[in-house]
Every structure is written in structure tokens, then in C-alpha cells.
Amino acid sequence: MEDLLIDRASSAKSVLLSDPGHSRYRRQLLLKGIGPEGQEKLRRATVLVAGVGGLGGAVALYLAAGVGRLVLVHAGPIDLPDLNRQILMTDAGIGRSRVHVARETLHRFNPEVRVDVVDDRSHEGNISDLLQEADLSVSCRYNFEERDLLNRASVTSGKPVVEAAMYGMEFYLTTLIPGATPCLRCIYPEFPSWDPLGFPVLGAVSGTLGCLAAAEAVKLITGMGQPLRGTLLYGDLSDMTFRKFRVKRQPGCFVCGDGDGI
């Protein structure tokens, strides 16, 4: 794994050693479906956050309230136009590695979470190894190519993906569980033509979607509630429209099916 250039955190404390009463998590321990057992599941979990922009940053922040280990994957430094929405970044961090600043912010929020970072995009050469260490991933990249790559690797490895995407005031969210739900290409058999990086984004929308995606991940880890299995949630915050759509697995899907086409 060392050739993946994962910068591994070395000083994350043990939750059980530093906080034997789980007092940091007292309020969520009260939730039906979490409790001490669910909290322990969270502590033992590793979540891969693919993309740590406005959306992935909100996901990471809310998962840092209990998930034991996060792996953040995102290439490049912070730029000024990032700061209308990327809540883990700071003005003083402009020009610095985004994932390293994200780790510093997350450790100020919760020093007990282990945060490993990869200052790179996900690609064919690293995605399988990154997923191997994770229990699940959250897909937050701005381009469909990396989402497709993560979907394929997740189907191969059997790891769930929380799939979250947004444009302007709109978003969609679903949870992909290999063998049990559609994969990304069952839903989008044709490669969509997404705008390049630089599309319109309101921070409140990426933050809203990030919170929803983090909640999906917590449900998957703990077993509480009902994740969006086979259901796609669409939202338009311009008029607060929220709709759910059933999405079906396609037997002919060339990623998770027999490959004969849909």
C-alpha cells in the first residue's frame, strides 16, 4: 500500500482509551439503532471519501463524529473559488494541499478520528487498493469518469457506495449495494455529458447533500434505519422539491449484470 502514497495519520487516539464513557457521542448514543453497539461499529469502520470538495468535505465532517477512520482522496491545492462551499478549508490554506488542510480541520473537530489522505485523484492504479481498506465509500467527485471507476471497483469488491451528485440547486442521492441494488451503470447506462469543473454550486446545496450522504453511510455501518436501497432521492432546493424514484437492477448491465446490454 505504500506505493499508493497514502499519508497515514500517526497520532489518532483510541476512542475507548481517551473517552471510556463515549461522552463525545452521548447524544447519538441515545438514538434507537445506534447505542454502544452501533457506536462501536462506527469506531471500527473505515470510509473512503472520494472527493473532498464542498460535498465530500461536508460528508467527512459529519462522519468524523464517530467513524473511526476516514480515507480522503483528492488531488491538488486549495484555490480561492473553493471557499464558497468547502467548509474544511481555510483562507490561510490557499495554495496548500486540500486533503492535508482537511485533515487538520477534522482533527481540530475530533482528534480521535484517524484521517489518512491521498493527494491524488482516484484512478485505475489505486482504486482497488483504496477500496480494499474501506468498508464502504462515498462518491463525491465532480466527473463521471471517476464515479464510473469507483462503481466498477465496488461491484468487483462487493463494497457499498453512497452515490451523491449535485448541480446548481439540484442533487441526487442513492446507495449502491453490489448484488442487492442497481449499480451506477444500471441507472446511467449511457455516459452522461457533465459540465467540466467550474459548474454552478451553492454551498448550502453541497452541505445539505453532504449531510444526507453522511447519514446514509452511518445507516449502512450501524444497521439503523432504511438506506436508499434501490431508491434515488432527487432534490431541488430552489423550490424545496424532494422526490423518490425506484431504480432497478438491469440484468444486462455490462458492469453488474451479464453484459448483454440493457
Q: How many residues does the chain have?
A: 262
Between strands 46-50 and 231-236, the pairing is unpaired
Q: Which residues have CB under 8 Å from 81's CB, separation 6+? A: none
Residue ranges in 80-109 that form contacts with Zn ion under rule CB under 5 A: none
- What mask of x and - would describe binding to Zn ion in positions 171 to 210, judged by CB under 5 A? ------------x-xx------------------------
Q: Which residues have CB under 8 Å from 10's CB, separation 6+? A: none
Under the binding rule (CB under 5 A), the answer on residue 150 touching Zn ion is no
Shortest distance (Å) from residue 26 CB to Zn ion: 41
Shortest distance (Å) from residue 185 CB to Zn ion: 5
| Paired strand residues for 204 | none
Cβ closer to Zn ion: 117 or 131?
131
Identify which of 125, 135, 123 has the alpha carbon closest to the alpha carbon of residue 159. 135
Under the binding rule (CB under 5 A), the answer on residue 153 touching Zn ion is no
Residue number of the CB atom closest to Zn ion? 253
Shortest distance (Å) from residue 10 CB to Zn ion: 39
Cβ closer to Zn ion: 42 or 255?
255
Under the binding rule (CB under 5 A), the answer on residue 78 touching Zn ion is no
Shortest distance (Å) from residue 150 CB to Zn ion: 13
Instruction: Give the burial class of 31: count Cβ atoms within 10 A of its Cβ; 0-12 exposed, 13-18 middle, 19 or more buried.
Output: middle
Under the binding rule (CB under 5 A), the answer on residue 255 touching Zn ion is yes
Burial 155-186 (b: 16+ CB within 10 A, else e): beeebbbbbbbbeebebbbbbbbbeebbbbbb
Under the binding rule (CB under 5 A), the answer on residue 253 touching Zn ion is yes
Name the residues that contact Zn ion, by CB under 5 A. Answer: 183, 185-186, 253, 255-256
